[in-house]
Amino acid sequence: MNSDTPLVRAGVLVAALVAATGLAGCASHDTKHPDPGAPPSGSAAPSGPATSGGSGPGTAAGRSPGDPGSGPPTQPLSAWPDKPFTDRTPFRWNGRPAAISAGYAAADFRAAMQRTWRLSHGATEKKQTFDGRSYLAFTDRLTNGGELLADVVGIEDAKGDLQQLTCDVYQGAARPAAFLQDCASLAYPNADPAGAAAWEEADRPRLDAMVKGSTAWAESPLFTAGGTSMFLRHSRPVLTSGGGRMIYELVVFGSGSGSPGGGKAAASR
Protein backbone atom coordinates (compact mmCIF):
# COMPACT_ATOMS: atom_id res chain seq x y z
CA MET A 1 0.00 0.00 0.00
CA ASN A 2 1.49 3.33 -1.00
CA SER A 3 0.62 6.72 0.42
CA ASP A 4 -1.88 7.45 -2.34
CA THR A 5 -3.70 4.14 -2.10
CA PRO A 6 -7.04 3.93 -0.29
CA LEU A 7 -6.51 2.63 3.20
CA VAL A 8 -7.38 -0.97 3.71
CA ARG A 9 -9.26 -0.15 6.75
CA ALA A 10 -7.85 -0.83 10.08
CA GLY A 11 -9.61 -3.85 11.12
CA VAL A 12 -12.82 -4.65 12.53
CA LEU A 13 -15.19 -1.81 12.61
CA VAL A 14 -14.52 -0.09 9.44
CA ALA A 15 -15.41 -2.80 7.05
CA ALA A 16 -18.26 -3.73 9.22
CA LEU A 17 -19.49 -0.25 9.38
CA VAL A 18 -19.43 0.75 5.85
CA ALA A 19 -22.02 -1.31 4.20
CA ALA A 20 -21.77 -0.35 0.65
CA THR A 21 -18.10 0.19 0.51
CA GLY A 22 -16.74 -0.77 3.82
CA LEU A 23 -16.31 2.06 6.22
CA ALA A 24 -12.69 1.44 6.52
CA GLY A 25 -11.70 2.22 3.04
CA CYS A 26 -10.04 5.53 2.69
CA ALA A 27 -10.81 5.26 -0.93
CA SER A 28 -13.58 7.72 -0.31
CA HIS A 29 -12.92 8.97 3.15
CA ASP A 30 -15.45 11.76 3.03
CA THR A 31 -18.25 9.26 2.50
CA LYS A 32 -16.83 6.31 4.34
CA HIS A 33 -19.78 5.99 6.67
CA PRO A 34 -19.69 2.61 8.42
CA ASP A 35 -22.02 -0.14 7.49
CA PRO A 36 -23.69 -1.39 10.64
CA GLY A 37 -23.87 -4.90 9.35
CA ALA A 38 -20.76 -5.59 7.35
CA PRO A 39 -18.34 -8.07 8.86
CA PRO A 40 -14.89 -6.81 9.80
CA SER A 41 -12.09 -8.00 7.68
CA GLY A 42 -8.46 -7.27 7.14
CA SER A 43 -6.31 -7.67 4.13
CA ALA A 44 -2.60 -7.23 3.69
CA ALA A 45 -3.08 -5.29 0.51
CA PRO A 46 -5.61 -2.60 -0.31
CA SER A 47 -8.09 -3.62 -2.90
CA GLY A 48 -11.26 -1.68 -2.75
CA PRO A 49 -14.16 -0.34 -0.82
CA ALA A 50 -15.07 -3.34 1.28
CA THR A 51 -11.94 -4.15 3.19
CA SER A 52 -9.99 -2.07 5.56
CA GLY A 53 -6.65 -3.62 5.39
CA GLY A 54 -6.37 -4.28 9.01
CA SER A 55 -8.28 -6.68 11.02
CA GLY A 56 -11.55 -5.42 12.08
CA PRO A 57 -14.91 -4.15 11.16
CA GLY A 58 -13.92 -1.39 8.92
CA THR A 59 -12.17 -2.08 5.70
CA ALA A 60 -11.89 -0.28 2.50
CA ALA A 61 -10.23 -2.66 0.19
CA GLY A 62 -12.15 -3.67 -2.86
CA ARG A 63 -12.78 -7.34 -2.21
CA SER A 64 -15.76 -8.60 -0.33
CA PRO A 65 -14.85 -9.76 3.19
CA GLY A 66 -16.18 -13.19 2.34
CA ASP A 67 -14.07 -13.53 -0.78
CA PRO A 68 -11.52 -16.33 -0.22
CA GLY A 69 -9.03 -14.31 -2.23
CA SER A 70 -9.22 -11.26 0.01
CA GLY A 71 -6.68 -12.38 2.58
CA PRO A 72 -6.11 -14.87 5.37
CA PRO A 73 -8.99 -16.98 6.73
CA THR A 74 -11.42 -15.22 9.05
CA GLN A 75 -11.26 -15.98 12.77
CA PRO A 76 -13.38 -15.34 15.88
CA LEU A 77 -12.78 -12.14 17.80
CA SER A 78 -11.31 -14.17 20.66
CA ALA A 79 -8.37 -14.95 18.36
CA TRP A 80 -7.45 -11.30 17.85
CA PRO A 81 -3.67 -11.02 18.39
CA ASP A 82 -2.61 -9.93 21.87
CA LYS A 83 0.41 -8.07 20.49
CA PRO A 84 0.63 -5.35 17.80
CA PHE A 85 0.76 -6.73 14.25
CA THR A 86 1.32 -5.37 10.74
CA ASP A 87 0.17 -5.77 7.15
CA ARG A 88 2.56 -8.71 6.90
CA THR A 89 0.37 -10.76 9.26
CA PRO A 90 -3.17 -9.29 9.04
CA PHE A 91 -6.10 -10.56 11.10
CA ARG A 92 -9.63 -10.94 9.76
CA TRP A 93 -12.63 -11.16 12.04
CA ASN A 94 -15.50 -13.44 11.04
CA GLY A 95 -18.19 -11.64 13.07
CA ARG A 96 -20.28 -8.51 12.84
CA PRO A 97 -19.99 -5.49 15.12
CA ALA A 98 -22.89 -4.80 17.46
CA ALA A 99 -24.04 -1.51 18.99
CA ILE A 100 -21.67 0.14 21.45
CA SER A 101 -24.23 0.36 24.26
CA ALA A 102 -27.96 0.93 24.53
CA GLY A 103 -28.72 4.36 25.91
CA TYR A 104 -25.38 5.99 25.02
CA ALA A 105 -26.43 8.94 22.88
CA ALA A 106 -24.37 9.90 19.86
CA ALA A 107 -25.23 13.52 20.68
CA ASP A 108 -23.52 13.22 24.08
CA PHE A 109 -20.28 11.95 22.56
CA ARG A 110 -20.33 14.58 19.84
CA ALA A 111 -20.95 17.35 22.37
CA ALA A 112 -18.05 16.15 24.54
CA MET A 113 -15.67 16.17 21.58
CA GLN A 114 -17.00 19.55 20.46
CA ARG A 115 -16.24 21.18 23.81
CA THR A 116 -12.55 20.32 23.54
CA TRP A 117 -11.90 20.23 19.80
CA ARG A 118 -14.42 22.61 18.23
CA LEU A 119 -15.31 20.11 15.54
CA SER A 120 -17.49 21.16 12.64
CA HIS A 121 -20.62 19.02 12.95
CA GLY A 122 -21.93 17.40 9.81
CA ALA A 123 -25.60 16.60 9.39
CA THR A 124 -26.83 13.15 10.39
CA GLU A 125 -27.73 11.49 7.12
CA LYS A 126 -29.75 8.44 6.23
CA LYS A 127 -27.62 5.87 4.40
CA GLN A 128 -28.21 2.43 2.98
CA THR A 129 -26.15 -0.71 3.11
CA PHE A 130 -25.43 -2.64 -0.07
CA ASP A 131 -28.41 -4.89 0.68
CA GLY A 132 -30.83 -2.00 1.19
CA ARG A 133 -30.88 -1.64 4.99
CA SER A 134 -31.05 1.93 6.29
CA TYR A 135 -28.89 3.50 8.97
CA LEU A 136 -27.93 7.00 10.19
CA ALA A 137 -24.39 8.32 9.90
CA PHE A 138 -22.53 11.53 10.69
CA THR A 139 -19.08 13.02 10.13
CA ASP A 140 -17.59 15.76 12.33
CA ARG A 141 -14.36 17.42 11.20
CA LEU A 142 -11.47 19.36 12.68
CA THR A 143 -9.91 21.72 10.15
CA ASN A 144 -7.47 24.62 10.09
CA GLY A 145 -7.49 26.99 7.13
CA GLY A 146 -9.22 24.38 5.02
CA GLU A 147 -6.74 21.64 5.97
CA LEU A 148 -8.35 18.49 7.36
CA LEU A 149 -6.64 17.55 10.64
CA ALA A 150 -9.01 14.99 12.19
CA ASP A 151 -12.52 13.65 11.90
CA VAL A 152 -15.06 11.49 13.68
CA VAL A 153 -17.39 9.21 11.72
CA GLY A 154 -20.22 7.48 13.55
CA ILE A 155 -23.41 5.50 13.16
CA GLU A 156 -26.47 6.00 15.34
CA ASP A 157 -29.79 4.22 15.54
CA ALA A 158 -33.26 5.70 15.18
CA LYS A 159 -33.28 6.58 18.90
CA GLY A 160 -29.99 8.45 18.60
CA ASP A 161 -27.85 5.87 20.40
CA LEU A 162 -24.27 5.58 19.18
CA GLN A 163 -23.71 2.29 17.40
CA GLN A 164 -20.17 2.40 15.98
CA LEU A 165 -17.43 4.97 15.73
CA THR A 166 -14.13 5.70 14.01
CA CYS A 167 -11.78 8.62 14.72
CA ASP A 168 -9.11 9.56 12.18
CA VAL A 169 -6.06 11.81 12.54
CA TYR A 170 -4.22 13.34 9.59
CA GLN A 171 -0.77 14.72 8.96
CA GLY A 172 -0.46 18.23 10.32
CA ALA A 173 -2.55 17.66 13.45
CA ALA A 174 -0.84 19.34 16.41
CA ARG A 175 -2.10 17.00 19.17
CA PRO A 176 -2.87 13.61 17.65
CA ALA A 177 -2.37 11.69 20.90
CA ALA A 178 -4.79 13.90 22.85
CA PHE A 179 -7.46 13.62 20.13
CA LEU A 180 -7.21 9.84 20.01
CA GLN A 181 -7.30 9.54 23.80
CA ASP A 182 -10.43 11.70 23.98
CA CYS A 183 -12.07 9.54 21.32
CA ALA A 184 -11.16 6.41 23.25
CA SER A 185 -12.57 7.78 26.53
CA LEU A 186 -16.22 7.10 25.76
CA ALA A 187 -18.61 7.18 28.71
CA TYR A 188 -21.03 4.41 27.72
CA PRO A 189 -22.40 2.19 30.52
CA ASN A 190 -19.66 -0.01 32.07
CA ALA A 191 -16.96 1.78 30.08
CA ASP A 192 -13.43 2.28 31.38
CA PRO A 193 -12.43 5.74 30.05
CA ALA A 194 -9.22 5.97 32.07
CA GLY A 195 -8.16 2.47 31.05
CA ALA A 196 -8.92 3.15 27.39
CA ALA A 197 -6.89 6.36 27.40
CA ALA A 198 -3.97 4.58 29.09
CA TRP A 199 -4.18 1.76 26.54
CA GLU A 200 -4.04 4.23 23.65
CA GLU A 201 -1.11 6.05 25.21
CA ALA A 202 0.82 2.79 25.67
CA ASP A 203 0.13 1.20 22.28
CA ARG A 204 0.53 4.20 19.98
CA PRO A 205 4.34 4.45 20.36
CA ARG A 206 4.62 0.72 19.69
CA LEU A 207 2.70 1.09 16.44
CA ASP A 208 4.75 4.14 15.46
CA ALA A 209 7.94 2.13 15.82
CA MET A 210 6.62 -0.69 13.63
CA VAL A 211 5.69 1.41 10.59
CA LYS A 212 9.01 1.66 8.80
CA GLY A 213 10.75 0.24 5.75
CA SER A 214 8.25 -1.71 3.67
CA THR A 215 5.68 -1.98 6.48
CA ALA A 216 2.53 -0.10 5.46
CA TRP A 217 0.56 -0.20 8.70
CA ALA A 218 0.51 -1.58 12.22
CA GLU A 219 -2.52 -2.39 14.35
CA SER A 220 -2.98 -2.77 18.08
CA PRO A 221 -4.45 -5.52 20.22
CA LEU A 222 -8.04 -4.88 21.28
CA PHE A 223 -9.02 -2.92 24.34
CA THR A 224 -12.38 -4.18 25.61
CA ALA A 225 -14.67 -2.97 28.39
CA GLY A 226 -18.40 -3.31 28.90
CA GLY A 227 -18.96 -5.39 25.76
CA THR A 228 -17.36 -2.74 23.55
CA SER A 229 -13.97 -3.10 21.85
CA MET A 230 -11.59 -0.72 20.14
CA PHE A 231 -8.33 -0.90 18.26
CA LEU A 232 -5.82 1.63 16.98
CA ARG A 233 -4.11 1.61 13.63
CA HIS A 234 -1.11 3.63 12.46
CA SER A 235 -0.17 3.76 8.80
CA ARG A 236 1.99 5.56 6.34
CA PRO A 237 0.15 8.69 5.22
CA VAL A 238 -2.94 7.63 3.27
CA LEU A 239 -4.37 10.18 0.85
CA THR A 240 -8.15 10.49 1.22
CA SER A 241 -10.75 12.02 -1.06
CA GLY A 242 -10.94 15.02 1.28
CA GLY A 243 -7.32 15.86 0.54
CA GLY A 244 -5.96 14.91 3.96
CA ARG A 245 -3.35 12.25 4.59
CA MET A 246 -4.56 9.92 7.32
CA ILE A 247 -2.00 8.47 9.73
CA TYR A 248 -4.08 7.17 12.67
CA GLU A 249 -7.43 5.46 12.93
CA LEU A 250 -9.24 4.49 16.12
CA VAL A 251 -12.19 2.14 15.65
CA VAL A 252 -14.83 1.47 18.34
CA PHE A 253 -17.55 -1.17 18.02
CA GLY A 254 -19.83 -3.36 20.10
CA SER A 255 -18.22 -6.77 20.53
CA GLY A 256 -20.60 -8.33 23.08
CA SER A 257 -19.86 -11.64 24.72
CA GLY A 258 -17.40 -12.59 21.98
CA SER A 259 -14.90 -9.99 23.10
CA PRO A 260 -11.49 -11.03 24.39
CA GLY A 261 -11.41 -11.29 28.15
CA GLY A 262 -15.13 -11.97 28.41
CA GLY A 263 -15.97 -8.30 28.11
CA LYS A 264 -13.35 -7.12 30.61
CA ALA A 265 -10.69 -4.59 29.70
CA ALA A 266 -7.98 -6.27 27.69
CA ALA A 267 -4.93 -4.19 26.90
CA SER A 268 -1.71 -5.20 25.20
CA ARG A 269 0.49 -7.57 27.02
- Listing DSSP states for 14-70 in one string gives HHHH-TTT-TT-GGGGGG----TTPPP---SS--STTB-SSSSSB--BSS-TT-GGG
Q: What is the mean pLDDT of residues 13-30?
A: 34
- pLDDT at res. 103: 84
43 found inside a domain:
yes
Give the range of the structural domain holding residue 223, as residue numbers without chain letter. 12-263
Encode pLDDT of 30-71 as tens digits: 435 555 555 433 323 222 222 233 444 443 322 233 334 456
Q: Is the predicted pLDDT of residue 257 greater than 90, yes or no?
A: no
| Weakest mean pLDDT among 8-22, 113-127, 190-204 | 8-22
Residue 233 maps to a domain: yes
On whether residue 39 sits in a domain, the answer given is yes
Any domain includes 214: yes
pLDDT of 131: 76
Q: What percent of the chain has pLDDT over 70?
A: 69
pLDDT at 97: 79
In a domain, 32, yes or no: yes
Is the CB of residue 195 less than 8 Å from the CB of residue 211? no
Q: Is residue 5 a part of any domain in this protein?
A: no
Structural domain total, the chain: 1
Confidence of residue 5 (pLDDT cuts 50, 70, 90): very low
The answer to whether residue 111 scores a pLDDT higher than 80 is yes
Q: pLDDT tens across 70-82, in order? A: 567 889 999 999 9
Is the pTM higher than 0.85?
no
170 found inside a domain: yes
